Amino acid sequence: MADMEMQKETEQASHQGTGKVVSVDRAKLRIKLAHEPIKSLGWSAILMDFSVVKASLLDGIKAGDAVRFELGKTKPEELVWVIVKIERR
């Protein structure tokens, strides 16, 4: 039963998180975050690299910034979550 609940949660269209920016690579559309737990995905707090859907999301974002972000999928059948929205907090 718990597995079914977790599957429903991870099938959501998007998930929100918070964290601290470790590095930004605009050329590769990548950002490294030390993020807090993302309960809706069952993820612990961890250091992770994420892709962003467009370069403009990284405008004004730099290492050391505290951020709030939203994860989504570019294709529903993929297992990879990408950042679709990010802002300094």
pLDDT of residue 76: 82
Domain span at 18: 2-88
Token match 């993820």: residue?
43
Q: How many domains does the chain have?
A: 1
Structure token digits, residue 18: 């918070």
What is the CATH number for 81? 2.40.50.320
Instruction: Name the E strands within 1-89.
Output: 14-25, 30-35, 46-51, 66-72, 82-88
Q: What is the pLDDT along the chain (89 residues), one digit of tens a residue?
A: 445 444 444 467 899 999 999 999 999 999 999 999 999 999 999 999 999 999 999 999 999 999 999 999 988 888 899 999 999 99
